[in-house]
Amino acid sequence: MRRTIDWTGDAVTIIDQTVLPAEYRVLELRTVGELVGAIQRLAVRGAPALGAAGALGVVLATRAKGDVEAEARRVAQARPTAVNLSWGVSRALAKLPEGPEAVLAEALAILDEDERINHEASRLAAEVVLEHCERRPLRLLSHCNAGHLATVSWGSALGVVWHLQTRGLVESVLVDETRPLLQGARLTAWELAEAGVPYRIQPDGAAAAAMSRGLVDCVLVGADRIAANGDVANKIGTYGLAIAAKYHGVPFVVVAPSSTVDTAMPDGAGIVIEERDPGEVLSFGGTTVAPEGAEVFNPAFDVTPHELITAVVTEQGILNG
């Protein structure tokens, strides 16, 4: 499978995640404006992939020969919750005094590092899972998409599934559909099908019931920002999953690259939560499903307190747990 986001020599290429699974489309983005638009409409998404997008946005800014720092800020501010976006921008921007080629080299380094880092993080997380579960084919539960499509390559939380699958230790994966944009049903299910991993899609609201019936051995999720104390911001619905998992004694494991850890953020209370377009909730498949004038609360993320998490795992090891 090709990289989710890459550099062709004169453009950023991305797999357009808004049209999967019906269509596999690759887009070429040649301006900062095009990249920012793709980030905001979730054509490219997932914390590690956004880190690469941030760095490549600085590359595009240097080639436009305008105010590079101002354009870089546009990229960094495209989505406020995922720390990797501003991390990628900052890392590439630090090379600006050395010239455009140095900026490009740094962005390409981030691309090359991503698969290795997430492969290692998910390998370590797989061992954490096996420390808390019986060594038999496991029933895993995933939320949103933390696979290949959320990274440059390989995946974070879904990368754990790939590791366990090669060892014959996956019975099936319960895939939360993940409202309102169905990143689970559209993207995670597509990745699992491509990899030949058995799965079932469930409504987000069915997760607690599945745990109560003994259908879940472990919950695996990614992260968009991890505070210094181990609180985790992730796709809306993660907090509720963690509460249900704690109640039912199900291990809850977070997997992310260390670039997702925001050491300047003491705890989750200070994490800015992005609120998205009400239309994502008021309509479904292009059809309006709510009364005219309905008010909407549509946060893209929530914060899970560290006390509810079994372990947060990065490529550097267990952050907490």
118 annotated among ligand-binding-site residues = no
Residue of 204, 217, 224, 262 marked catalytic: 224
78 annotated among ligand-binding-site residues = no
Q: Quick check: is 224 catalytic?
A: yes
Q: Residue 151's beta-bridge partner residues? A: none
47 annotated among ligand-binding-site residues = yes
46 annotated among ligand-binding-site residues = yes
Q: Residue 232's beta-bridge partner residues? A: 226, 304
DSSP β-ladder status, 138-142 and 218-221: parallel
Long-range contacts of 5-13 (CB under 8 A, 24+ apart): 5/44, 5/49, 5/52, 5/53, 5/56, 5/111, 5/152, 6/111, 6/152, 7/56, 7/59, 7/104, 7/107, 7/108, 7/111, 12/53, 12/56, 12/57, 12/59, 12/60
Cα-Cα-Cα-Cα dihedral sign, residues 229, 235, 240, 246: negative
45 annotated among ligand-binding-site residues = yes
Is the distance from CB of 31 to CB of 90 less than 8 angstroms?
no
235 annotated among ligand-binding-site residues = yes
> Which positions make up the binding site?
45-47, 79, 183, 234-235
The catalytic site residues sit at: 224
Known binding-site residues for substrate equal 45-47, 79, 183, 234-235
